[in-house]
Amino acid sequence: MSAAIEELRNAPAMLPLFAKALLRANVKPGNNPVLPNAGIRLRDVVLDPKHLRTYRNVCGFPADGMLPVTYPHLHAHPLFMSLLLRSDFPFAAMGLVHVRNRITQFRPIAEREQLDIECGFGELVRVAKGYEFSMLTSVSTGGELVWESESTMFRRGGGTGVEEPRSAPNTTPVTDAEVWQVPGDIGRRYGAVSGDRNPIHLYPLSAKLFGFKRQIAHGMWTKARSLAALHEQLPVQPFTVDVQFKLPVFIPAKVKFAHTAVADGIDFRLVAQDGIKPHLTGTLRHAD
């Protein structure tokens, strides 16, 4: 059965959504959670040059007349939140963890193109320590699909208890790498431009309220910053960038970014100062 798509005239405001998330913080999924058969569409999104310029400054992208490959995610985020705060969504939005993100760009998107953005739910899977589900986004312009993504979210609790076999982690220390100084205010700066002002990203005290020793960088900032570092190597042809978010980046921090060219694209990773502890692992591959 196809999803019921809600048409919006304007993007939802993030502050009321965050307030609603606090009110729904104690929602319990029950024994057999089911995702709503629903989606949201926002048409004719005109991009704000000032907002785009701020995003580039925060993430390190150059101004080249095209949208940074991660930029459409920002316009999908309020739609994500609206879906997560539906009365029939089985989990509390607070406490969800973004564990993976895959973006496919079918062609570069010019700054002045108007975008149609549609978001919906993917598959819900019960895993060892809880549940995983995906949020799907497609971006079109003039009826042409130009960008799509899948964000995989994790909710702890109610899992199977059965661990899946995993490949051995890469413990080879990063040696030939860029060293980045991640400032302590990057969570506030990225939160201001993205609308994602989750307290775990803002200040040491607000992060401690949620069990962190201090604030952490947004996962999507680490992905954006990595792709900004690879900007000159990004293909014009369709490509997919798939990342897994590993250990959080407690900020301020010093991290290392390394990348390797492979036959069909680029492998990259962001690691701690010791060159081993992983924050993000990613692959860039040419899309079919």
DSSP alpha helix (H) spans, the chain = 14-23, 49-59, 72-84, 186-194, 204-208, 219-229
Asked if residue 176 and residue 62 are part of one domain, the reply reads no
pLDDT at residue number 23: 84
Condensed to tens digits (0 to 9), the pLDDT of residues 24-50 reads 888 888 888 999 999 999 999 999 999
Domain region containing 92: 1-166
Domain boundary among 115, 135, 166: 166
Condensed to tens digits (0 to 9), the pLDDT of residues 163-212 reads 777 666 667 777 778 999 999 999 999 999 998 888 889 999 999 988 88
Domain boundary among 166, 199, 222: 166
Asked if residue 159 and residue 173 are part of one domain, the reply reads no
CATH code (residue 27): 3.10.129.10
The yes-or-no verdict on residue 1 having pLDDT over 70 is: no
pLDDT at residue number 2: 66
pLDDT at residue number 76: 93
Residue for token digits 């979210």?
153
pLDDT at residue number 195: 87
Contact 42, 117 (CB under 8 A): yes
Asked if residue 121 and residue 25 are part of one domain, the reply reads yes
Determine the Cα–Cα distance for residues 216 and 90; give it in Å rounded to an integer: 27
Please state whether beta strands 4-8 and 38-45 pair in parallel, antiparallel, or not at all (unpaired).
parallel
Beta bridge partners of 138: 118, 148
Asked if residue 174 and residue 160 are part of one domain, the reply reads no
Contact 121, 133 (CB under 8 A): yes
Asked if residue 157 and residue 213 are part of one domain, the reply reads no
Asked if residue 154 and residue 76 are part of one domain, the reply reads yes
pTM of this prediction? 0.93
Condensed to tens digits (0 to 9), the pLDDT of residues 251-288 reads 999 999 999 999 999 999 999 999 999 999 999 999 87
Contact 246, 215 (CB under 8 A): no
pLDDT at residue number 173: 75
State how many domains the chain has: 2
Going by pLDDT thresholds of 50, 70 and 90, the confidence category of residue 159 is confident
Determine the Cα–Cα distance for residues 153 and 149; give it in Å rounded to an integer: 13
Mean pLDDT of the chain: 92
